[in-house]
Amino acid sequence: MDENSEAIRDYNNYCEATRKKQKKVFNNAEERQEFNQKVELKRKTEMCKNIIHFGECKFGSNCSYAHTKDELLKKKHV
């Protein structure tokens, strides 16, 4: 049991060390909604770097970036 516990601790420490950043914490629903609206305005306004460099993207249709020039939207002032 100790071995499993130690392995789990090591794994959790590894995950914590490699995590890029924590989830955003909002004070209220209005703050969350405002943030989501700003994010949505930026969707598909730039080409996907994975498509440009590698020709494929693991996020597929869920990617926030455009995969074709037809998908590319004009940037809006935020």
**CA 49 remoteness from chain centre:** 13
How many CA within 13 A on the CB side of residue 19?
A: 9
Tens digit of pLDDT for each residue in 26-50? 999 999 999 999 888 999 999 999 9
Whole-model pTM above 0.75?
Answer: no
Contact in structure between 64 and 44 (CB atoms under 8 Å): yes
Structure tokens at 15: 């995950």
pLDDT-derived band of residue 13, with 50, 70 and 90 as boundaries? low
Residue 70 backbone dihedrals phi, psi, to 5 degrees: -65, -30
